[in-house]
Each structure stands twice: as C-alpha cells, then as structure tokens.
C-alpha cells in the first residue's frame, strides 16, 4: 500500500510532532534545532509516547515545550537534568530520552552531573544548545564563552572556555557530535544517528543567541559559524533494511578509504563520507587531537567527533530485569507473606 | 573526653532497684575500628537469647580507627530499653580513657581491664578484675591483622563467666553474627572458651551482678532500624534507590542490597530493585525524582547534610507533584555537626523543605518495627498524595540493635494512587470528556497522573517547577498560581487525614500530658512509670506524622500542662505545634535535650518532676 506522502509510517503528519509556540527570541538558534527534532522524529516515525523530553533551566531548557507535543516532558531544575533522566530511564528501559541543555546548564552548574551521566552511559540523546552566554539572566558569560571576548554589560572574559565535547570524550562518552544550528542537514543526520546509539550520545551544537552573543567575532555567532564551519564528513543514515542500496552507493560514488561505516546497535548504519580531511572518529586520541587543533586554530569542526562501540548501559551494568521496572505487577513488587515470616523466624 | 563527658549525670542505679539480677548496665570502652562492635553485638545477642530484655547503644566517634568509642548495654527485667546514662560495670579496654572510665563508676561498681596494663587499683570502693588479654590470644595462631579484633573476645569470655551467660548462648550469638561461617565462629569461640576457663580458674566472683535466663524476648527479634526500613521498602515495592554514602544512613542502603534477593525477577533471576550510588545527594534525589515521575517506587536515604542538598529537588517534587520517599536518618547538626551522634534536629527544616511555600509530609517512626511499617506505607502514601514523603528516623533507631516484635506483613494491597494507564485514560475521557494533569476532579487536591510510556495520544503532559495552570501549561498568571497553591493546600489537608494517627495513652481526668515522637518513646514510657510511682500520673501522645492530626491538638487542649519531649536543642516540634495552634498554647512546655545521645528516662523524669513540683509550689503560694 502506498504511503501517504503527507504522513509517516505511523500515519502521523509532521504537525503531529510539533509542540507549543516558541517564546524564544525570533531567529534563536534553539528554535532551528527544535525544528530539526520535529523533522527527524516525523521521518523516523518515532512513537512519541515512548519519548521523554528532558531539560534543566535556561533558554535551551524551555525548548522541549516547542516540539513533540505528544511526549511526556520534564523541565527540571538548573543543571540537574542528567540525574532526572538517569532515574527515569533506569526504571523504564523502553523510553527514548531526549535531553536539551545549554552551556550554562551543562558547563557550569551541571558539569558534575553531566560527567557522571556520561560515566554511567545512561541511554539518551544529550543536546547542548551552546551559545556561550546566559540569555534568561541577560547576557553573562558562560563557561564556553571565548577567551578575550567582550560583552556589553560584563566586559572582558579572561577565562578559557570549557569544551563540552572534549569533556564528553574524556568522560568515556561513546558518541560525541558537534554541529551548528545553521547547518540543519547535519543537525538532522547527527540527531538520527544519536537516537540509534545505545548509550549517551552528546551533541554539542553551536546555537547562536541573537540577542546577547551574535557579534561576528564571537565563535558562537551565526556569521562566524557560517564563515568557519568545517564539516568533517557528510553523514548519511542507512536504515537496517536498505542493505542493497548501501552496496551500490559504496561501489559507485566513493573510493576505498573515503567512507567509514559505523554500525549502530539497532542495525542502522551511520555512513561518514570524506570531505576535505581524513578523519576517523573511532580513535579517541585523534579526536582529542582534532579538538586541540580546533582550539588552537579557532575552527568550528563539525560532525561525528568521536564514536566507540557502546559499553553497557547503566541498567545493564546493574543487572536489572529486562522488563520496565515501572510495569512490574504487584506480585513482583511485594514478596509473599511466607518470605517475611521465614525471615522473622530466622531472626528470633 | 570521657564517657562521663559524653553522657551526663547519674540516675537509676541498680542498688536503687534492689535487684542485681538482670537490672543493670555495663559499658565497654574500646578503640574505634578495633572490631569491638562484633564482640559487643555477641554480648547483646547472647543476652537476648537468654530471654532478657536488652539494649545496646553504640556511642562512636567519626573516625575509622583509633579514637575512643563506648558501647553501653543495659538489661532490664522490667523490659525497659531506654538508654541509661550510668553504668555499674566498665569493661575498660582502651588505656587512653581508662582513668576516666574507672573514675566514672559508681561506688560498688565493677571494672574489668587488661592485666598487662599493670594499672594498679586506683579506687578501693569498686571491684577489680584484671584479665590476661594478650596472654590468652597468644595461645592461638591468629594472623596479626585479626589479633586486635579477636582480642575483644577475651572480655566476652570473662563477662560470660562472671555474670553467668551460658556458653551455648554465646556460641549461638556468634553464629548469628558470622552468619554461620564455621571458621570465624570457631576461631572466636575458642578464645571465648579459653577466657571463660581462665576466669573460672583464676577469678573470685566479688560483685553481686548476674544474668539469669528469662522468657521476655521469646518471639521477638533483634534488629536495627535501618535494616527494618530497607526490609519495609522491599515489601513496599521499591524499584529504585539512589543514595550518597553518609553516616548514619548508609546501612539502610547496605541492607536494601542485602534483601534485594527477595525481589528477583522469577523469569530472568535479574534484579527488580535498582540501587545506584550517586555522585552527591543532589544527584541522588534527582534520580529518585526522575524515577518516581516515570512510575517507580523510588527512595533515597540520607542524613542532615544530604537533606540540605536535597532541598531544591524537594521543592520541585512538591510543586511538580512527584511521589518519592526520602529517609533522613538524623544525626546532630547544623553543618557536619556530630556526624555519629543522634538527633531529632531536622524536623522543622524538613517539614518545610524547599524555598517558597511548601509543606512536606513527614513520618516519625519510633523503632525498627515502625521503620518497617513506614518502609512500605511511605510508598502508598507518596503515590496516593503524589508528593515527597519524608521518613525521619535517627541514628539511635537506625544503627543500634533494638528488641522488636516481629514485623507484620502489610495489611493492605499496594496502592498506586490516582494513576491512569491507557485504559484508565480512555475511561476517564469517556466519562469526563477531558483530562488535565493538575485539575482537581475529586476536590481532594489530588489530581490524576499518567506515566511516560502510556500509549495514548493525549497521555502526555508537561512537568515543570515553573508556574503552571491546571492543564500543566506554563503560566505566570497570578490567578493560576494562587489556584494551584490553594489546591496544594487542599491536598495537604487530605494528607492530614491519611497520615498515621498518633498513639494516645490517657484516662479521664488526667491533667498532665506528655507529647513526644520517634526514638524518645522508651525513655518517655520509663519516665512515666517513675513519675507514677511518685504520684504524678501522665497522659501520653506520641506523634507519628506531620501534618499534625486533629487528635494532637485536641489532646493538647484537653490537658492543663503539656510537656513536649524531643531530642533537639531548639524544641522544634514545640514550634510546629504552636504554628498549628497559635492560640492558647501557653501551657505547652518544651523539654528538649539535644546533646547527641539517645533520650534518657532521667531527663524526662527529672524535668517533669521539678516543673510539676514548681507548679505545685506555685499553686500552694497563690
């Protein structure tokens, strides 16, 4: 049966994946990312009732209200989204967690929880909408702001930035991407890949703040991003059932060594096609070196920065029952009377 | 520091009671980390198996190894298990504190100390037993790392001979202690036997104290409150626990891990209780809030400093209406305070935990039995009320072994509260044509919730700590805010009807009432008996939960004089009572101890006696 062009595999329209109207400033990079989430969720046919949208506090953390209106959402407290997701996904392993955070929420108040989330390999997509500035409190520097940057009310920033992608790599995150909200195609590709990843997938997306930090010399601005973004590769996502097509492309369009196929846990293949430079994201030291190079040369290198075969998720390493703990029947929640009686007897 | 500085005053000594059988207390002074906890537990368990009502209280320092530590054991043929602050017998095994340990003994007291100290008999009004600790263990091949620990078994053997604990009871207690591990049991028992034989051959019994078998512990168990709480949680359906190590709450989680086997998935043999050690208490409660929101029965266990860190999440869980259970095994604050000493000092802070207008539900167990009961009930209450439920135990209940009735199996099925699954939601829509997360359909302040993962296009809602209307939509409107706060107040009134009722003992015409809660109960009960013997009859109300039930106010109103006995410095429950009864509360007097140690009968008895005598003197004057 031919699929209706205007609905996806679930028979839902793109509209069904929208959320409420954004209250962010017109032109905000975050709204663009919300739109990419809507788009890929529609294309992937995500079941929204299994999605949880999680956030902390800040402009970025407001965005879960603006996409996937049929998914449960939790706008928690500042910097603590990681712990909330850890609890929710551990007790229900069927949930697809999409977290949205910002550079303040992750890089300052939430840095500890961020690192520990990665250490635990909590299955989720962790999006950092990184604009280098505190928006809701009107323009303070964040921990990712450029060293030597000048902002109107707060003067010069004398401190070096924290690179949240680098932090992820050294914290044993197994999927780390960087992108630019002005590059919707790449954002979509990385979003799709990150959803297929088993474990924490971090996407550090430069998402300009049009109100407080959009001067051309800021590395978090639109002009800078448009000028300086260097994609490390083109990213294609091959669904598990498109094996033949995959073979064809490989043979016809690319020479050996120009393509890196990264198989995901669910059978999806993330295909990285070489652009200008040779880069294999499966080498941790190379990834760190790349980020060092980006730092020294002020480059916005985007794409899949680092990938490794995911290790056990938290629920797996805890040896938890495969069924969601939230769905256990009462007789599995309370041992029988004899269990207590025997125990009491043994204590007498 | 000496135990006399830690404990204060003198009280009900054995001779006052004219009985030196099964009615005295002894104290063991050792160094922390020397393994004396094991030998002391063996003594307590042996006495328990002899059928003698017994308590053991560990007065320990915040230290891994080396600082002085004391353990007091009291036996009482009348079944009193409150801490007594004077002991007739000192087992002085710490040379650094021995001088004071010996000086603190009452006339006619007994000291047992190592021969090798060559201490000399510095008092002639007490009885001395010098025992060969080093020599006894020298006879056995013991790895040097274990020597200090098993050395403590020497005094167990001597105590067994001197005060007549049958060795088979000691052996049984050892088996309990080492969970039947034959090697450990035998190694320790050999030493106990050798010490016992040495005592038989070399000591002349000069003191009047002894133990005699009774049958007052038959059918009872010996357990700590933290173990009981964990067990209660297991029977309450806990599926998620997160925590950060902190004394004195850590053993609750240890016990939860120990009892997890009762809840294996029968098909896969995998666990159905997740226990995650967090990076701090903020993360611990954050995980618990996430889990509770997703539909788990989630708990965290902590103590004062952790409660401070949890306050922001407590406010979020309150306003976002997420069921979680938070155990506070209270220790002495503020700040790091006395980390290994008990307190009831978190009650005021916890009952309003979170900034802004928030009022929390608090349960106040008195002993391990109620820790078990509240262990499972707290989940039903949290799910029913969709709010955090705090259980305020304390170090004394949590970490000391208490004699207890065996726990009763939950008397009602698990209650998940107003939770709508797919079918429930369909029916809800069919019946009412709508469903909004925070709308008060039943006028009890409690709305209906759905869980993430509910396969229904309209099941989702937005959870937030920001202002919202009854649809869960973001709102900064004052009327929405006020309406929500009014509903939460309504919910708190519903909570008042659902929390456990106080326990009241009274008879018509009584004019003096004692109000107390938690671990003070044994001390209050014993003090009441003493007061009664002095002609002062009292009523007694034991609060079991906050919000205060109407019965509490009625009780207070019905008495001429009310003494609120509690173990914090500021009289925090007294303040809470005054908030709930702003008028006519001048007859409510605070008796607050707050010295870091378990409540004593003496404190309650002497204070009430003197205030009553003062009152009577006043009455006569006018």
Which residue of chain A is at minimal alpha-carbon distance from B290?
A: A84
User: Are B287 and A87 within 8 A, CB to CB?
Assistant: yes
The tens-digit pLDDT sequence of chain A (348 residues) is 445 568 999 999 999 999 999 999 999 999 999 999 999 999 999 999 999 999 999 999 999 999 999 999 999 999 999 999 999 999 999 999 999 999 999 999 999 999 999 999 999 999 999 999 999 898 899 999 999 999 888 889 999 999 999 999 999 999 999 999 999 999 999 999 999 999 999 999 999 999 999 999 999 999 999 999 999 999 998 887 654 444 444 444 556 568 899 888 888 899 999 888 889 999 999 999 999 999 998 899 999 999 999 999 999 999 999 999 999 999 999 999 999 999 999 998
How far A256 CA lies from chain B's nearest CA (Å)? 44
* CA atoms of B372 and B379, how far apart (whole Å): 12
Q: Which helix (H) or strand (E) holds B255?
A: helix B250-259
**Residues of chain A positioned with their CB less than 8 A from the CB of B275:** 318
Q: Do B71 and B187 form a contact (C-beta atoms < 8 A)?
A: no
B120 touching A, CB under 8 A?
no
β-sheet bridge partners, residue B298: B240
Tokens of A41: 């969720």
Which of A88, A320, A337 lies nearest to residue B294, judging by beta carbons? A88
- For residue A141, the model assigns a pLDDT of 94
Which residue of chain B is at minimal alpha-carbon distance from A75?
A: B464
How far B289 CA lies from chain A's nearest CA (Å)? 6
DSSP state of A25: P
pLDDT, one tens digit per residue, over B581-591 is: 999 899 999 99
Which of B276, B289, B461 lies nearest to residue A90, judging by beta carbons? B276
How far B457 CA lies from chain A's nearest CA (Å)? 6
- For residue B145, the model assigns a pLDDT of 82
Q: Do A48 and A96 form a contact (C-beta atoms < 8 A)?
A: no
DSSP tally for chain A: helices H, then strands E: 13, 15
- For residue B147, the model assigns a pLDDT of 84
**Residues of chain B positioned with their CB less than 8 A from the CB of A335:** 234-235, 262-263
B265 touching A, CB under 8 A?
yes
User: Are B465 and A321 within 8 A, CB to CB?
Assistant: no
Q: Does B19 have pLDDT greater than 90?
A: no
Q: Do B509 and B560 form a contact (C-beta atoms < 8 A)?
A: no
Segment 363-402 of chain B within 8 Å of chain A by CB: 376
* CA atoms of B156 and B162, how far apart (whole Å): 10
B276 touching A, CB under 8 A?
yes
Instruction: Please state, rounded to an integer, the average pLDDT across all residues of chain B.
Output: 94
Segment 25-44 of chain B within 8 Å of chain A by CB: none
- Say yes or no: ipTM exceeds 0.90: yes
The DSSP string of A153-170 is TTEE--SPPP-HHHHHHH
* CA atoms of A54 and A114, how far apart (whole Å): 13
User: Are A76 and B289 within 8 A, CB to CB?
Assistant: yes
State whether the Cα torsion B264-B265-B270-B271 is positive or negative: negative
pLDDT, one tens digit per residue, over B324-372 is: 999 999 999 999 999 999 999 999 999 999 999 999 999 999 999 999 9
- For residue B621, the model assigns a pLDDT of 53
Q: B391: closest CA among B570, B571, B545, B551?
A: B545
How far A223 CA lies from chain B's nearest CA (Å)? 33
- For residue B159, the model assigns a pLDDT of 97
Which of B270, B291, B460 lies nearest to residue A91, judging by beta carbons? B291
Q: Residues 6 or more apart from B137 whose CB is under 8 A from it?
A: B147, B150, B151, B154, B191
Q: Which helix (H) or strand (E) holds B44?
A: helix B36-49
B581 touching A, CB under 8 A?
no
Tokens of B337: 């305070």
What φ, ψ does residue A104 adopt, rounded to 5°? -75, -45
Band of residue B17 on the pLDDT scale cut at 50, 70, 90: very low
How far A97 CA lies from chain B's nearest CA (Å)? 11
Which residue of chain A is at minimal alpha-carbon distance from B461?
A: A72
- For residue B10, the model assigns a pLDDT of 44
- For residue B16, the model assigns a pLDDT of 47
- For residue B96, the model assigns a pLDDT of 94
Which residue of chain B is at minimal alpha-carbon distance from A89?
A: B291
pLDDT, one tens digit per residue, over B85-118 is: 889 999 999 999 999 999 999 999 999 999 999 9
Which of B240, B283, B465 lies nearest to residue A91, judging by beta carbons? B240
Q: Does B602 have pLDDT greater than 90?
A: yes
Phi/psi-derived region of residue B164, left when phi > 0, alpha when psi is between -120 and 50, beta in every other case: left
Q: Which helix (H) or strand (E) holds B513?
A: strand B512-517
Q: Do A277 and A232 form a contact (C-beta atoms < 8 A)?
A: yes
User: Are A76 and B286 within 8 A, CB to CB?
Assistant: yes
Q: Does B9 have pLDDT greater than 80?
A: no
Query: Rounded mean pLDDT of B504-529?
Result: 97
Query: Rounded mean pLDDT of B184-200?
Result: 95
Global pTM value: 0.95
User: Are B289 and A116 within 8 A, CB to CB?
Assistant: no
How far B35 CA lies from chain A's nearest CA (Å)? 22
Phi/psi-derived region of residue B536, left when phi > 0, alpha when psi is between -120 and 50, beta in every other case: beta
For the beta carbon of residue B476, count every other beta carbon within 10 angstroms.
Answer: 9
What φ, ψ does residue B482 adopt, rounded to 5°? -65, -40
Strand order from edge to edge, sheet including B588-592? B503-505, B539-543, B512-517, B561-566, B588-592
Q: Which one of A84, A98, A112 makes the best mutation probe of the B interface by having the most chain B beta carbons within 10 Å?
A: A84
* CA atoms of A73 and A100, how far apart (whole Å): 11
Phi/psi-derived region of residue B436, left when phi > 0, alpha when psi is between -120 and 50, beta in every other case: beta
Which residue of chain B is at minimal alpha-carbon distance from A116?
A: B279
pLDDT, one tens digit per residue, over B554-566 is: 999 999 999 999 9
Which residue of chain A is at minimal alpha-carbon distance from B457?
A: A70
pLDDT, one tens digit per residue, over B406-420 is: 999 999 999 999 999
B406 touching A, CB under 8 A?
yes
Any alpha helices (H) in A159-283, and if so which ranges? Answer: 164-170, 184-196, 222-228, 243-253
- For residue B614, the model assigns a pLDDT of 86
B312 touching A, CB under 8 A?
yes
Please measure the distance between the N-terminal and C-terminal CA atoms of chain B and give it in whole angstroms.
47
Which of A87, A112, A344 lies nearest to residue B290, judging by beta carbons? A87
* CA atoms of B68 and B101, how far apart (whole Å): 11
Please measure the distance between the N-terminal and C-terminal CA atoms of chain A and give it in whole angstroms.
70
pLDDT, one tens digit per residue, over B145-166 is: 888 888 899 999 999 999 999 9
User: Beta strand B539-543 with B503-505: parallel, antiparallel or unpaired?
Assistant: antiparallel
How far A246 CA lies from chain B's nearest CA (Å)? 34
**Residues of chain A positioned with their CB less than 8 A from the CB of B353:** none
**Residues of chain A positioned with their CB less than 8 A from the CB of B263:** 332-333, 335
- For residue B14, the model assigns a pLDDT of 46
Which of B221, B320, B451 lies nearest to residue A347, judging by beta carbons? B221
CB pairs under 8 A between A and B: 221
How far A276 CA lies from chain B's nearest CA (Å)? 42
* A192: three-class secondary structure by DSSP: helix
User: Beta strand B449-450 with B419-420: parallel, antiparallel or unpaired?
Assistant: parallel
- Give me the percent of chain B exceeding a pLDDT of 70: 96
* CA atoms of A230 and A246, how far apart (whole Å): 26
Q: Which one of B259, B274, B298, B449 makes the best mutation probe of the A interface by having the most chain A beta carbons within 10 Å?
A: B274
Q: Residues 6 or more apart from A53 whose CB is under 8 A from it?
A: A64, A67, A68, A71, A72, A73, A74, A98, A99, A100
- For residue B350, the model assigns a pLDDT of 98
**Residues of chain A positioned with their CB less than 8 A from the CB of B452:** 49-50, 52, 71-72, 88, 92, 95
- For residue B111, the model assigns a pLDDT of 98
How far A115 CA lies from chain B's nearest CA (Å)? 10
User: Are A113 and B283 within 8 A, CB to CB?
Assistant: yes
- For residue B2, the model assigns a pLDDT of 59
User: Are B287 and A332 within 8 A, CB to CB?
Assistant: no
Higher pLDDT among residues B617 and A123, named by residue: A123
């Amino acid at each position: 049966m031919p699929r209706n062009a205007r609905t996806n595999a679930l028979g839902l329209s793109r509209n069904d994946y929208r959320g409420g109207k954004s209250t962010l400033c017109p032109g905000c990079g975050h709204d663009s990312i919300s739109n990419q989430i809507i788009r890929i969720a529609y294309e992937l046919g995500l079941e929204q009732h299994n999605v949880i949208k999680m956030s902390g506090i800040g402009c970025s953390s407001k965005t879960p209200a603006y996409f996937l209106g049929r998914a449960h959402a939790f706008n928690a407290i500042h910097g603590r989204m990681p712990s909330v997701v850890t609890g929710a996904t551990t007790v229900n392993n069927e949930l697809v967690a999409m977290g949205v955070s910002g550079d303040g929420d992750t890089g300052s108040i939430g840095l500890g929880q961020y690192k520990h989330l990665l250490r635990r390999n909590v299955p989720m997509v962790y999006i950092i909408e990184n604009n280098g500035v505190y928006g809701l409190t009107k323009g303070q520097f964040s921990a990712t702001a450029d060293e030597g940057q000048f902002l109107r009310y707060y003067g010069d920033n004398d401190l070096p930035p924290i690179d949240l992608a680098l932090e992820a790599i050294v914290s044993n995150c197994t999927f780390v991407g960087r992108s630019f909200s002005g590059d919707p195609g790449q954002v979509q590709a990385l979003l799709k890949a990150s959803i297929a990843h088993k474990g924490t997938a971090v996407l550090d997306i430069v998402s300009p703040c049009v109100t407080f930090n959009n001067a051309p010399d800021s590395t978090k601005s639109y002009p800078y991003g448009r000028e300086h973004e260097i994609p490390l590769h083109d990213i294609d996502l091959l669904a598990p059932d498109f094996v033949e097509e995959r073979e064809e492309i490989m043979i016809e369009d690319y020479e050996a060594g120009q393509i890196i196929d990264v198989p995901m846990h669910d059978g999806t293949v993330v295909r990285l096609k070489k652009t200008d430079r040779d880069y294999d994201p499966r080498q941790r030291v190379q990834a760190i070196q790349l980020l060092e190079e980006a730092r020294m040369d002020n480059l916005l290198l985007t794409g899949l920065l680092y990938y490794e075969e995911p290790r056990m998720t938290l629920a797996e390493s805890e040896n938890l029952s495969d069924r969601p703990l939230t769905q256990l029947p009462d007789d599995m929640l309370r041992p029988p009377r004899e269990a207590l009686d025997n125990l009491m007897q043994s204590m007498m | 520091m000496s135990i006399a500085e830690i404990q204060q005053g003198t009280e009900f000594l054995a001779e006052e009671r004219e009985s030196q059988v099964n009615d005295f207390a002894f104290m063991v002074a050792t160094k922390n980390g020397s393994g004396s906890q094991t030998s002391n537990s063996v003594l307590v368990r042996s006495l328990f198996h002899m059928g003698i009502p017994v308590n053991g209280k560990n007065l320990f320092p915040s230290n891994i190894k080396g600082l002085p530590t004391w353990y007091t054991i009291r036996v009482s043929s009348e079944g009193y298990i409150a801490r007594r602050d004077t002991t007739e017998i000192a087992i002085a095994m710490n040379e650094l504190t021995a001088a004071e340990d010996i000086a603190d003994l009452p006339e006619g007291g007994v000291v047992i100390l190592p021969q090798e100290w060559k201490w000399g008999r510095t008092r002639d009004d007490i009885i001395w037993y010098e025992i060969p600790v080093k020599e006894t263990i020298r006879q056995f091949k013991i790895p040097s790392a274990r020597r200090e620990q098993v050395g403590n078994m020497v005094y167990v053997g001597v105590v067994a001979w001197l005060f007549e604990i049958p060795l088979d009871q000691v052996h049984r207690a050892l088996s309990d202690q080492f969970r039947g591990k034959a090697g450990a049991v035998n190694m320790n028992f050999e030493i106990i036997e050798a010490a016992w034989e040495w005592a038989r051959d070399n000591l002349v019994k000069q003191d009047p104290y002894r133990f005699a078998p009774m049958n007052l512990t038959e059918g009872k168990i010996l357990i700590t409150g933290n173990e009981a709480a964990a067990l209660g949680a297991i029977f309450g359906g806990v599926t998620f626990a997160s925590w950060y190590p902190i004394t004195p709450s850590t053993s609750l989680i240890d016990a939860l891990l120990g009892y997890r086997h009762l809840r294996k998935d029968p098909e896969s043999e995998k666990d159905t209780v997740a226990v995650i050690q967090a990076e701090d208490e903020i993360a611990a409660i954050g995980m618990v809030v996430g889990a509770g929101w997703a539909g788990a029965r989630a708990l965290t266990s902590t103590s004062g400093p952790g409660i401070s860190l949890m306050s922001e999440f407590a406010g979020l869980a309150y306003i976002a209406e997420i069921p979680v259970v938070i155990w506070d095994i209270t220790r002495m604050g503020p700040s790091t305070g006395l980390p290994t000493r008990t307190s009831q000092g978190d009650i005021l802070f916890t009952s309003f935990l979170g900034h802004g207008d928030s009022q929390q539900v608090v349960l106040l167990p008195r002993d391990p039995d109620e820790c078990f009961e509240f262990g499972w009930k707290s989940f039903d209450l949290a799910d029913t009320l969709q709010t955090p439920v705090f259980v305020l135990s304390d170090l004394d209940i949590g970490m000391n072994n208490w004699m207890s009735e065996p726990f009763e199996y939950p008397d009602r099925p698990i209650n998940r509260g107003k939770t709508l699954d797919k079918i429930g939601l369909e029916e809800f829509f069919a019946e009412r044509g709508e469903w909004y997360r925070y709308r008060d359909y039943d006028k009890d302040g409690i709305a209906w919730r759905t869980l993430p993962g509910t396969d229904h296009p309209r099941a989702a809602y937005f959870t937030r700590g920001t202002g919202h209307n009854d649809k869960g939509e973001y709102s900064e409107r004052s009327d929405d805010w006020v309406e929500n706060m009014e509903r939460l107040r309504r919910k708190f009134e519903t909570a008042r009807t659902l929390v456990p009722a106080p326990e009241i003992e009274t008879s018509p015409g009584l004019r003096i009432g004692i109000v107390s809660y938690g671990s003070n109960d044994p001390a209050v009960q014993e003090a009441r008996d003493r007061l009664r013997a002095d002609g002062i009859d009292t009523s007694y109300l034991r609060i079991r939960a906050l919000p205060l039930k109407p019965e509490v106010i009625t009780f207070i109103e019905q008495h001429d004089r009310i003494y609120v006995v509690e173990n914090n410095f500021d009289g925090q429950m007294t303040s809470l009572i005054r908030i709930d009864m702003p008028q006519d509360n001048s007859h409510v007097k605070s008796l607050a101890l707050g010295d870091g140690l378990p409540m004593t009968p003496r404190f309650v008895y002497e204070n009430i006696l003197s205030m009553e005598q003062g009152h009577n003197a006043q009455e006569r004057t006018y």
